[in-house]
A = this chain, B = another copy of it.
Amino acid sequence: MSEYGTLQDRVRHKSLLSKVMTAEETIQFFKPGMNLGWSGFTPAGYPKVVPIAVADHVEKNNLQGKWKFNLFIGASVGAETEDRWASLDMIDRRWPYQTGKNIAAGINEGRIRMGDKHLSLFAQDLGYGFYTKDTESGRLDLAIIEVSAITEDGSLVPTSSCGVIPEILMICDKIIIEVNTGEPSFEGIHDLVSCGTPPNRQVLNITKAGSRIGSTSIPCDPKKVVAVVESKLRDQGRAFAEQDDTSEAIANHIIDFFTQEVKMGRLPDNLLPIQSGVGSIANAVIGGLAKGPFYNLSVYTEVLQDTMLDLFDSGKLDHASSCSLSLSATPGFPKFFENMDKYFDKITLRPLSISNAPEPIRRLGVIAMNTPVEIDIYAHANSTLVGGTRMINGLGGSGDFLRNGFLKMMHTPSSRPSKTDPTGISCVVPHCSHIDHTEHDLDCVVTEQGLADLRGLCPRDRAKVIIDKCAHPDYKPILTEYFEMAKADCLRRKVGHEPQLWDRAFKMHLNLEKNGTMKIKNWDMKVDLCE
């Protein structure tokens, strides 16, 4: 018997106990070509034993490339599931976010058809049937949902994330439930609502990070449940990204900026709810807040990382709302489970369609902070495609928060190493090779060099401030020369609202490809159209 209670304890709708089976026995429900909907969001709350059993089945029976599925999941899930499926050529379509070497390779080599979308839109559009409309059933054929418990009326209690469970339940035909008895139950931490379909969508009456508008479980028709499987596997978790000097410098610029905004009366003393992405800079910012001058903070975001527990421990964070608890396997999750009574009431886990909904994000006035691949001198940002063509993970919720926040900020090191040059890649470029967020969405750009406050500036003024405050010193003269040259040329031709020269806007990118660095010697360029 598990220390966290038995399967019989967790499955309170007793008729469903008749559906208990092993993971291997669920193979019967899978057919190649099916549309699958999984619980999970970032490597948290995803099904494990069933996807692993299906992968084992494919491997054992040499079904690689023959058993392929369309995977719809709130965001990425553990590498032992989706990335292994990719390595076994089991994925045809994948929406809207992923993590893993094999799945990324499949996408960029053309074997896996991935699409990404603002996560809040993905959630609603999935529920509207937009992603499955051209497939055989037109619906999700099979859902695999990890839960902490099934209530007396058959409702599902999720685990460490809510993802798109409500939308999956709206449009799926059959459901496999994984009941996780390998960890304490999360019952009570969630605030679950199914948004529904227009014209009957409801008002989301959230007025602070901790507002509760729903219930702690989500209704589910027991007749759709075809299997209940016990799992004792824990989330693989998100490895903690260490802070470095660069991320600390960025965090300091941000804390200074907040201090100034409070002083000018544009931010309250306890700031506004924080949204913070993942990675070392996000960790440094949260670390900076733990040491900083602001109290009674709140968080309204999509993922909570380990540092958020530290911010609670500092006594400065009152409440955190999120779609998932993306802690590290160690020390994050064990720390959380051992101190659940300390953290539990201060955290609300919401479905993606609510954690990322424009409605509460605008109303609350969230401070949005995310890291791009590159930004350009006019404040467009590339969040997804290296070199404009190679997918890393996906868009995630960056656009939900950047479009709707009170302050919309992007932070990045000013440069990154290329294979041959420690500062061979400038994160500030003349024109982004892919644009996920436009100049119309960003208020501030921050690098270790400084913070560019772009509010109220026209494009030409923005370019000056971004180059001056944010570019790496090695690239400042290069970018300045481009901007001055483009401006002179475009203003002369009376087309200079936002100056660019299309024969050379990508010279830095092309030079990186050819010579391993964006440090070009000059802006000369000979372009022959070869007519």
Contacts and interface: CB of A to CB of B under 8 A. Distances in A.
A404 to B, nearest CB: 6
A456 interface: yes
A201 B365 contact: yes
B93 A458 contact: yes
Contacts of A245: none
A139 to B, nearest CB: 11
Nearest to A124: B362
A434 B268 CA distance: 36
A109 B493 CA distance: 8
A457 interface: yes
Interface in A133-168: 133-134
Interface string A467-505: 000000000000000000001001100111111101101
B129 A266 contact: yes
A255 interface: no
A436 interface: yes
Interface stretch (A59-67, A202-210, A233-241): A202-210
Interface string A453-470: 001111111000000000
Given A433-B502, A529-B514, A108 B497 contact: yes
Interface in A495-530: 495-500, 502-503, 505-507, 509-511, 513-515, 520-522, 524-530
Query: Majority SS of interface residues in chain A?
Result: loop
A244 to B, nearest CB: 27
A25 to B, nearest CB: 31
A387 B490 CA distance: 11
Contacts of A499: 389
A282 B373 CA distance: 37
A244 B130 CA distance: 32
Interface in A188-222: 197-199, 201-203, 205, 207-208
A422 interface: no
B527 A527 contact: yes
Contacts of A502: 388, 433, 506, 509-510, 513
Interface string A427-447: 000000111111011010000
B390 A497 contact: yes
A357 interface: yes
B456 A132 contact: yes
Interface in A87-132: 93, 95, 105, 107-110, 113-118, 121, 124-125, 128-132
B443 A130 contact: yes
B115 A459 contact: yes
Query: Which of A129, A359, A500 has the most C-beta atoms of chain B within 10 angstroms of its own C-beta?
Result: A359
Contacts of A403: 118, 121, 358, 399, 403
Contact of A389 (B131, B435, B497, B511): B497
A264 B133 CA distance: 9
Contacts of A208: 199
Interface string A166-191: 00000000000000000000000000
A400 B513 CA distance: 37
A199 B268 contact: yes
A456 B133 contact: yes
Nearest to A122: B440
A445 to B, nearest CB: 15
A132 B457 CA distance: 10
Interface in A52-92: none
Contact of A515 (B201, B387, B524, B531): B531
Contacts of A511: 529, 531
Contacts of A520: 529, 531
Given A526-B526, A526-B528, A456 B198 contact: no
Nearest to A208: B199
Nearest to A135: B456
A36 interface: no
A50 interface: no
Contacts of A507: 529
Given A113-B460, A399-B440, A525-B530, A497 B129 contact: no
Contact of A198 (B201, B406, B529): B406
Contacts of A109: 491, 494, 496
A380 interface: yes
16 contacts: A105-B494, A107-B497, A110-B491, A113-B457, A113-B458, A115-B457, A125-B455, A129-B266, A134-B456, A197-B365, A199-B208, A201-B363, A359-B359, A395-B440, A433-B502, A522-B531
Given A503-B506, A527-B527, 13 more contacts: A108-B497, A109-B494, A109-B496, A115-B456, A118-B440, A130-B455, A201-B364, A389-B500, A395-B440, A435-B438, A438-B438, A526-B530, A527-B528
